[in-house]
Amino acid sequence: MGENLTRKILADHLVSGELQPGAEISVRADQTLTQDATGTMAYLQFEALGIPRVRTKLSVSYIDHNMLQTGFENADDHRFLQTAAAKYGIYFSRPGNGICHQVHLERFSSPGDLLLGSDSHTPTSGGAGMLAIGAGGLDVAVAMGGGPYYLTTPKIVGVHLKGRLQPWVAAKDIIFELLRRLTVKGGVGKIFEYFGEGVASLSVPERSTITNMGAELGATTSIFPSDERTREYFRAQKREEMWRPTSADPDPEYDEVVEIDLDKLGPMVALPQSPDNVVPIEEVAGTKLAQVCIGSCTNSSYHDLSVSAAVLKGRKVSPDISMTVTPGSRQVFTMIARSGALADLIESGARILESACGPCIGMGQAPPSDAASLRTFNRNFPGRSGTADDKVYLASPEVAAVSALTGEITDPRKHGSPPPLETPEEFTIDDDLIIPPPENGDSLEVARGPNIKPLPLAEPLAQTIKAPVLIKLEDNVSTDHILPAGSKILPLRSNIPAISEYVFHYLDPEFPAKAKEAGASIIVGGSNYGQGSSREHAALAPMYLGVKAVLAKTYARMHHTNLVNFGILPLIFADEADYDRINVGDVLEMPDVRDAVRGGEVTVRNATQAYEFTARHNLSERQVEVLLEGGLLNHVKAHAG
């Protein structure tokens, strides 16, 4: 049998290890991507490495998250990021240029290359044949310095697409179908590679919607081949010279295969409060809505906004609805303005937001209390919208636009024939808001505002851990639960002492005070602990508060890595029944834990209830050393010379 595309790209970038599922490998990143919610910390970490200039082919710093400037903090961080980019050889995408993933797809994606980004939706560029992986900011900082990125060799899942989508059925419905079947835990330790005759029917923006939201499966990444449809996209972006064909060998081998018949798919909706809570639209049609939001890095392409505008043209949004539309990039914004689609959206009553993450990250447009909001976004975790009792539904732009007219979730197939749309032969190209770095930035100074605080470092792993359990959590706790986003908290991303006051803010607002009083503490979690975003602050802030270990049933990939990177010991219950026995307030003791971690199993004594149980870990030998030395930054500085 032939080789699949994913393994071919991994082999091309392999630095160490063997491509055997479950084994640790390290790979070289061609490109890196950061955004302003994670970037400030990433560049502080890069500075701490003492390397004068990035060593990647290309690194880009985007401003797209912290766009509400209600105080000095965001503006100061943006100035820091711009000056740091100039000094260290990084391209800088200015505020207003667009959402990092949309812009990177348009202007920098490169088939066959490997992109590492400090955002969980970095896999968007997989729609253009790139192996694009989300990671914590510290991992990205190390990659910018020329260091390898370590990961467990994933299983490769081939997704066989048959047929073609029927009218009113969207690319969003393909990833919804996978989430419906596999759940938010179904992609952990896996990469999804799409193949089959159905691939050719999908444009690059449609493919990128699928790879973007593949992050909600817990997948390492997702990828499409680079074919003639990809070439058309690159030609329209006026960078055909960067295109190259990439594909699997004939008759490729996959660890698993999933088959989806596109002919049989219908419109679907993800119900509150998880992206995998997916049902056919018929089951929720008629649900009254208070808000409709179109945009996010999942669905803010020119195609997505054009189809929305065509649905709304000559009509008015329901008086019961507040509707917002977010163009994903300045390119998209300019093109809908010139095509007339922008006027159609405005005349319909939709509110036009700037090209940024916006409501998807809880940065404005929080829905009314106890009301339903229909969004084309990728996540609907509870409270993520900014409203504590939110009821967020997820759907395609087609469903969202039709539902905005009726004021309730509506099957677009009852709306008549879909509007005819043509794919542009050329996109508007204006890269003036992308600032290239000077050839030499040695003489430049990095601007630092008062909100940028020194980078805290973890201590080496103690010989014995003895600490109380301060919180016990259910399954599928996300990084939004651990450290929320939103307009009040995001501006503190460069200030760990301040942002640590919001750890578990919506689950236990007293947690920071209790953690500081305890001095050392332990967290107990369920399965898939830490799902969602790449935000390393969800590990960094607990470390700052004295969290020494987490005991969970299973972990999401990125958060598990971030815990190790910041010196928090991630343990797994050897017997999940032990999870049930632990109570909040129990004091747990792990004697001789430094020695025990080297052996793979740790004896945990519940001093409060006077019993012992066994926990294990799935750390590599390298990760054990990282933990023993107090995190990745300490480890790299000690061993990189």
Q: What SS3 string covers 156-182?
A: EEEEEEECCCCCCCCHHHHHHHHHHHH
65 tagged catalytic:
yes
Q: Which CATH superfamily is domain 465-639 in?
A: Aconitase, domain 4 (3.20.19.10)
Beta bridge partners of 324: 293, 351
Cis ω before 273 (30° cut-off from 0): yes
Rg (CA), the chain: 24
64 tagged catalytic:
yes
Instruction: Report the amino acid identity of residue 247.
Output: S
User: What is the pLDDT, as a whole number, of residue 641?
Assistant: 53
Residue ranges of the chain whose pLDDT lies below 50: none
What is the C-alpha separation between 35 and 111, in angstroms, rounded? 22
What is the C-alpha separation between 198 and 225, in angstroms, rounded? 12
pTM: 0.95
Active-site annotation holder among 13, 78, 303, 379: 379
State the residue for tokens 């089959």.
196
What is the C-alpha separation between 397 and 304, in angstroms, rounded? 6
Q: What are phi and psi of 515, to 5 degrees?
A: -65, -40
Q: Which fold has domain 268-415?
A: Aconitase; domain 3 (3.30.499)
Active-site annotation holder among 7, 13, 28, 65: 65
What is the C-alpha separation between 122 and 439, in angstroms, rounded? 27
Q: What residue segments make up the domains of the chain, in order of their start? A: 5-264, 268-415, 465-639
User: What is the pLDDT, as a whole number, of residue 308?
Assistant: 98
Name the burial class of residue 241, with classes exposed (0-12), middle (13-18) and buried (19+) by CB atoms within 10 angstroms of its CB: exposed
Active-site annotation holder among 535, 560, 617, 635: 535
What is the C-alpha separation between 587 and 319, in angstroms, rounded? 56
533 tagged catalytic:
yes
Active-site annotation holder among 30, 77, 119, 411: 119
Active-site annotation holder among 533, 560, 617, 635: 533
State the residue for tokens 């043209």.
313
Report yes or no: 451 and 77 within 8 Å, Cβ to Cβ. yes
User: What is the pLDDT, as a whole number, of residue 127?
Assistant: 98
Report yes or no: 533 and 481 within 8 Å, Cβ to Cβ. no
351 tagged catalytic:
no
Active-site annotation holder among 30, 64, 173, 390: 64
309-337 residue pLDDT tens: 999 999 999 999 999 999 999 999 999 99
User: What is the pLDDT, as a whole number, of residue 486?
Assistant: 87
Asked if domains 5-264 and 268-415 share a fold, the reply is yes
User: What is the pLDDT, as a whole number, of residue 638?
Assistant: 85
Which tokens hold the place of 208? Answer: 């990128």
Q: Which CATH superfamily is domain 5-264 in?
A: Aconitase, domain 3 (3.30.499.10)
487 tagged catalytic:
no
Instruction: Report the amino acid identity of residue 268.
Output: M
For residue 195, the surrounding DSSP H or E stretch is strand 190-195
